[in-house]
Structure 1
Amino acid sequence: MRKLTRITISSEVMGGKPCIRGMRVTVGMILGLMATGRSQEEILRAYPYLESEDLKECLAYAAWRVEEVEVSLSTT
């Protein structure tokens, strides 16, 4: 997977949630809008400081997260 350069995580912005380019726009918020049927054009109109590549990276980040595998570590 290519490196995601537009998704940032900082404990000082939105409590450490993944955000777009350090702004107070979370990946989860954008994915929620997409999930409820908002088009890319509608989202970009509502948030004119976002770019189409930001939305693509939100989807790429979500795809990466759902493929992540958690492995329990043995305590013995």
Structure 2
Amino acid sequence: MDYRERITIEPDKRGGKPCIRGLRITVYDILGYLAAGMSEAEILDDFPDLEPADIRASLAFAADFEHRLMVAPSR
């Protein structure tokens, strides 16, 4: 999945945090709901503007971000 089709970053929206398709729902929000144990169906019920691909895009964005992190060498 190419999350760049669904994840937007706008400086004047939600402090420039990555959002879903220009909505005010952040990737952080989606990841937090999943981490808290909400199912995809529950998230979609609570946020009718979201689509299943938005949740997958949030996960892909987080995975890519984690992959790009630089780890400081241990001493």
Q: TM-score, normalised by structure 2?
A: 0.87
Question: In 2, distance between residues paired with 1:69 and 1:27?
Answer: 17
After TM superposition, what 4+ stretches of structure 1 lie above 4 angstroms from structure 2?
none
Q: Which has the higher helix share?
A: 2
Q: TM-score, normalised by structure 1?
A: 0.86
What CA RMSD, in Å, does the superposition of the two structures yield over aligned residues?
1.8
Unaligned runs of 5+ in 2: none
Question: Structure 1 vs Structure 2: percent identity of aligned residues?
Answer: 48
Question: In 2, distance between residues paired with 1:62 and 1:69?
Answer: 11
Query: Which amino acid in the other structure matches residue 4 of structure 2?
Result: L
Count of paired positions: 72
Unaligned runs of 5+ in 1: 72-76
- Higher RCO (Cα < 8 Å, 6 or more apart): 2
